[in-house]
Structure formats: C-alpha cells, structure tokens
Amino acid sequence: MITLKGSATTLPLQRDVPPAILIAPVVCALPRRVQPRRALRAPPFPIQTVDSVRIRCPEDVRRAAEALHALAMEHDMRAAPAHNLADKRTPIDAEGNILARDVFGWTDKKAWWRNCRIALESPIASACRFESEAFWVNAGGFRTSQPNHYLDAIDLSNFDTRAMTRAAIVVPVHLPFGQIGAVSFNPLDPATTDLGDLFARQGDAFGTYARTFIASYVQVMGSAQALPPGTRLSKREVECLRWAAIGKTDMEISMIMSRSRATVRFHIYNASVKLNAVNRSQTVFKAAQLGYISLTG
C-alpha cells in the first residue's frame, strides 16, 4: 500500500492497470479567470500503481511516459523530464520520438530541450546539483523539506526567463556514476506562482513517480556499461586514491603509507585497470563516482 503525504488515502499496488487511466488529453492552459481548479479537488493519484511509470524494456517507454503525463495533467501540471543534466539529448521512445514534444505536449514555442544552455543557466538545474529531495521554487526562492544553504546562494534574478516557468515542483534524480536527472512539474496556468499547497499534499508522491520513471529509463535506454562487471577495489588501492584525490604525489603517498613509490604506483595502476580509466585523473574521478573516495574534503 502507498500512503500519500497529506492524505489518509492509501493506494493498492495493482499490477494490471486499465489503459484508459494511463492516457490523459493535452489540455491547453486557459486564462486565469476561467482556469479549472481540478488540482484542489483531484484525487491523490488517478494512476493506481507506481509500476505504471516503470520501464522494463524500450517498448515500455512510451506507455510509462503517458502514465507520468496523465499524473501531471490530473493536477493541472505538465512534466518536463531530463534523464541527464549533462546531456543535450532528452528522453525518447523506442522509435526515437522526443517524449517532451510527442507525449508531454511541449510545443516548439516552449522547446526547453533545444536550449543548449539551460543546464548551465537555469536556477532549477543548478538546484538539482545541490539537492536530492523534491522541492518547489518560484522567483521568491526554493522551498525544501529540509534546509539547504547551498540553494540560498543560487541567483534567482530574471527567474521566469531563465527557468522558462514562473513556478515548478522539481524532483532531482541522483543516479549511479554521478549522473543527475530531474523532472520538473510546471503549472498549466502560466499565472500560477504559488505551489505550496500542492507540494505539501503531493510532493512526496510526485517524487516517487518521477524517480521511478527516470531511473528505469536510464537503466533500459542507457549506453553500454561504464565499468566492467564485478569491479571492486582493494583497501590499498582505495587508500592510495584517497591521497591522490587531495593532490598528493606518488612520493608523498609512499612516505605517508610507509610503502615504496613503486608500490603506490602499482596500486593506482591496478585501480585504473579495474575502473577502465585512461589516466590518474580519470581513475580518481571514477572511484569518487562509485563512492570509494570523497572529493568534498
């Protein structure tokens, strides 16, 4: 059973979900004075199981995207998924169709995925690098479940233009190997700037569905394995890389560890082979991605 934040409703985990509830029509935003207020009275989630947005093979991508779209539309929101903030590409289905355009209903006029600088300039993308839990944001600031002083330093000037929305509920998705994805839920009504109530009631649930969609998309549609299977570093290899990560030379590491310089170089070389790295810097980087060492001091 799933209990959604702010609601006593529990949703059964059903394996077979009728296709009819997985597809919602694309609704154009109406002027504020006539915009329907479904978000205030909509049931917690019309999609009855998180499996509806889970992807198990390439042919599942379109169906899962339609399910996530239906969930967002039921709350007067439109989803904007990105599987990798460092990648100019955006999620596609098994036939190569762009989901943002063909499923989530973003028009050419608002083709955020074609803005090659959005990952660098958008305050939303910046926040996803420093926060792992769902949050909501507008020009007035970031609202998170727990304080995060890194977000306080993010520049929110000219927010509407740089973020390409006036407000959003955002779900960062931190994945293996340091990859960061995200799903931004944006109001259909462009005049909406306060998402506090919706976030309080549905933020955790949006987070669960968004993470499931992005993580399973990357698992199924990702490129070849970044590392040989079964990669495991030894205690000495990790110890050498920890010192290398803070700038110590082989000679300095040998003095610290009371080992010969040749032994230090041997351990770092072995680690590079195991991590399929081409040099010392990449070896340290990949070890940090896997959590063997920390680059934060």
**The domain 235-289: what is its CATH number?**
1.10.10.10
The segments of the chain whose pLDDT lies below 50 read 1-40, 46-47
Confidence at residue 83, expressed as pLDDT on a 0 to 100 scale: 94
DSSP H or E stretch at residue 78: strand 77-82
Confidence at residue 184, expressed as pLDDT on a 0 to 100 scale: 96
Distance CA 270, CA 264 (A): 10
pLDDT in tens, 199-213: 999 999 999 999 999
Confidence at residue 114, expressed as pLDDT on a 0 to 100 scale: 76
Confidence at residue 289, expressed as pLDDT on a 0 to 100 scale: 82
SS3 182: strand
What is the identity of the amino acid at 154? Answer: I
Mean pLDDT of the chain: 83
Cβ neighbours for 135, distance < 8 A, ≥ 6 positions apart: 127, 142, 143, 144, 145, 151, 169, 170, 199
Domain locations in the chain? 2-221, 235-289
